[in-house]
Amino acid sequence: MSDISLIRHPQGLSKAGSSQEAHPHSMATSLIPFPRVIFHVMCFCLTFHSNLDFMWEIFREPNGWENFHTLYLTQINQLSTVDCSLRPVAVFISTPPPLHQINYAADGPYTLLSESLVFSLFGLLLQLFTSVVGQSYQKQKTFKALKRNRWLFLCHIIVLSIPVYLFGISLLLLIFAISVTGFLSSSTSAQIFTGATFSVLFTCLFVSILPSPFFSRLHKILHKMLRRTTDSVDDDDDDDDYELDKERSERETGSPV
């Protein structure tokens, strides 16, 4: 991978927001493979992109930084995942099972439900924190401080993304608790209905992911990695062939007539 910056930033945003300067050394891509791979993996997990160049394209626009945070804070404040996860988990934990065949108070399901409640509460806490300090995020001085280093910028993205991921983990734990309860049920019909339901749901989820940007970006990244691996193997084979040809020619040259 060439030594290019992950984020380019302007020297000073003009009124039109179009002036630029070369990126500083602190924003350059690391030449050390391991930190570079870690950075790309974290970028993909947080933004579904292998780097943060797309965000810089947004921030280059006039008031792009402010508009981005305003839209994000509006969406996260309207997040209804809290009600979708907290209420069912609270009901499951506080009430006994109505049927003994479907015992969600067993050790496994109850542990998953408890963990789901914990993630929901932490997600709610961090959502409130993000909402309170969100006004300071929208200021240009915050952007000027973060663009000094790409890791600082990535940490800012992590802070914005954590509430969403915590709510997502909470929902997944709730789904796992329900599935474990159904599969461990003493009723055969409950096990069949649970398996059929989750088979249909996972099929629909997989079909919905195929046309999404997430799948296309993941496919491109995997394709690039596979192509680089293949190219490196081909280069090694070519080097081996070259060494063998060189050794054979030396033997032929040194052999008596």
SS3 per-residue string spanning the chain = CCCCECCCCCCCCCCCCCCCCCCCHHHECCCCHHHHHHHHHHHHHHHCCCCCHHHHHHHCCCCHHHHHHHHHHHHHHCCCHHHHHHHHHHHHHHCCCCCCCCCCCCHHHHHHHHHHHHHHHHHHHHHHHHHHHHHHHCCHHHHHHHCCCHHHHHHHHHHHHHHHHHHHHHHHHHHHHHHHHHHCCCCHHHHHHHHHHHHHHHHHHHHHHCCCHHHHHHHHHHHHHHHHHHHHHHHHHHHHHHHHHHHHHHHHHHCCC
**110, 217: one domain:** no
- Give per-residue pLDDT as tens, 150-191: 778 788 888 888 888 888 888 888 888 888 888 888 888 888
Q: In which region does residue 189 sit, left (phi positive, over 0), alpha (psi from -120 to 50) or beta (all else)?
A: alpha
Is residue 147 in some structural domain?
A: yes
Residues 46 and 150 in one domain: yes
Q: How many residues does the chain have?
A: 257
Q: pLDDT tens digit string along 193-226? A: 888 988 898 888 888 777 766 667 666 766 776 7
Same domain, 112 and 211: no
* Residue 249 resides in a domain: no
What value does the mean pLDDT take over residues 133-143?
A: 80
Same domain? For 48 and 124 the reply is yes
> What pLDDT score was predicted for residue 114?
87
169 lies in the same domain as 82: yes
- Show the domain range for 196: 190-234
Q: Specify whether 40 is located in the same domain as 101.
A: yes
> Are residues 199 and 131 both part of a single domain?
no
Q: Is residue 240 part of a domain?
A: no
Domain membership flag for residue 18: no
Do 75 and 40 fall into the same domain? yes
Average confidence (pLDDT) over 85-109: 77
Quickly state the pLDDT bin for 33 (edges 50, 70, 90).
Answer: confident
C-beta separation of 213 from 224 below 8 A: no
Do 93 and 148 lie in one domain? The reply is yes
Number of domains present in the structure of the chain: 2
- Could you tell me which residue, 230 or 1, shows the higher pLDDT? 230
243: in domain: no
Same domain, yes or no: 54 and 166: yes
Question: Is 245 contained in some domain?
Answer: no
| In a domain? residue 199 | yes
The confidence score (pLDDT) of residue 6 equals 38
Q: Based on the domain organization, do 215 and 161 belong to the same domain?
A: no
In a domain, 13, yes or no: no
Residue 239's pLDDT is 53
Distance CA 237, CA 22 (A): 40
Q: Is the pLDDT of residue 111 over 50?
A: yes
Residues 100 and 143 in one domain: yes
